[in-house]
Every structure is written in structure tokens, then in C-alpha cells.
């Protein structure tokens, strides 16, 4: 198995600031916008973006939630092992709000389809956007595209994108892993 570094810590830092600026440009004060990190790995990106928006760009208040999509996926019964749910934490209404789903890697689009179903339990959003750090553009099974993307990657065959976060993995780094 071989690993190739796709993005270094410095490159991730630059991309996060660009994504934060794009969000700020489109949502200004965030009074009508909520950010929702998709469990499990999208929460690290969502928290990091929220921190940048607040500390470096002066956004006073942002509603940030975490959405577990485990049992909304169309493939959750197909694996050998029993799946464990993550925590959903959405302590605000999404009715008539702009919702920005945040996930680390957009691959087949199935997670986003599940998130579209899951968010309906919390109200009817006015609009839904998607922000992803890595867009694996040749792997889509569903017609889903991000509104905000950090980097587009042409991963093929059995290649896998591995995102590491300082908060969880001890460092910020993104690899392309080949078997």
C-alpha cells in the first residue's frame, strides 16, 4: 500500500480560509444560515470553519450542528459488522434557514442523499448547500455536486482519500492511498 500526500497542513490552512471567505461572501452575518457537519468526519471541518469565521472574520454568532446519517444511508444493512450511530446535535430550527452541509470528502454522493433525508426531521430548510474539502469527481453515483469545494481529486479504481485532522489524528494532512 502506498500513500501520496495530496495536501499538507499549510495547504489545508489556506483552503480552509478560502472556504470561510466564500461562506462569508454568500451568507454575510449567518443570521439566516446554519452549518451542519456530517458525522463522523465532517464535524472536524465544520468546527474548524466556524472557529475561523468567528475568530478571524468577526462573525458573532453561527448555529453549528452535527448530523448523524448512519441509519438514513441506503447501504447501512449491507455490511458484516453492526453499525453504531454517532451523535446528532442540532439544537436549532432549520425551518426557512439556509443549511450548509459540511463533509470532508464527497465520493459517491450517497452520504449527502442520506443527509437530505435526515435533515427533514428538523424542519424544512429554505435552501441547502454543500461544502466539501475534497471532491472525488469521477466517483459519483448520484447527481450531487458541491457549492464549495476545497480541492478536486481524480482518484480512480481502489484509491482512497484519507483526511487527517489535528483534533482527531494529531496532524492536518490529506493522503491519496493506493493498494
Q: What are the angstrom distances between the C-alpha of 168 and each of 23, 43, 116, 165? A: 24, 11, 26, 5
pLDDT in 10s for each residue of the chain, 179 residues: 789 999 999 999 999 999 999 999 999 999 999 999 999 889 999 999 999 999 999 999 999 999 999 877 666 555 566 666 778 899 999 999 999 999 999 999 999 999 999 999 999 999 999 999 999 988 788 899 999 999 999 877 788 999 999 999 999 999 999 87
- b/e for 38-75, b at 16 or more Cβ within 10 A? bbbbbbbbbbbbbebbbeeeebeebbbbbbbbeebbee
6, 176 Cβ separation under 8 angstroms: yes
Helix (H) or strand (E) holding 117: helix 110-118
Amino acid at each position: 500500500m502506498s500513500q501520496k500526500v495530496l495536501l499538507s497542513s499549510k495547504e489545508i490552512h489556506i483552503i480552509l480560509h478560502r472556504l470561510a471567505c466564500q461562506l462569508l461572501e454568500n451568507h454575510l452575518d449567518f443570521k439566516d444560515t446554519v452549518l451542519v457537519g456530517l458525522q463522523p468526519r465532517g464535524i472536524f471541518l465544520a468546527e474548524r470553519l466556524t472557529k475561523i469565521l468567528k475568530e478571524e472574520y468577526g462573525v458573532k454568532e453561527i448555529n453549528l450542528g452535527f448530523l448523524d446519517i448512519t441509519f438514513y444511508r441506503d447501504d447501512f444493512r449491507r455490511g458484516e459488522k453492526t453499525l453504531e450511530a454517532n451523535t446528532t446535535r442540532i439544537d436549532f430550527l432549520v425551518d426557512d434557514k439556509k443549511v450548509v452541509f459540511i463533509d470532508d470528502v464527497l465520493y459517491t454522493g450517497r452520504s449527502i442523499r442520506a443527509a437530505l433525508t435526515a435533515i427533514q426531521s428538523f424542519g424544512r430548510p429554505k435552501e441547502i448547500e454543500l461544502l466539501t474539502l475534497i471532491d472525488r469527481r469521477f466517483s459519483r453515483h448520484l447527481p450531487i455536486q458541491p457549492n464549495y469545494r476545497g480541492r478536486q481529486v481524480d482518484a480512480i479504481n481502489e484509491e482512497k482519500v484519507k483526511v487527517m485532522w489535528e483534533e482527531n489524528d494529531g496532524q492536518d494532512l490529506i493522503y491519496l492511498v493506493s493498494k
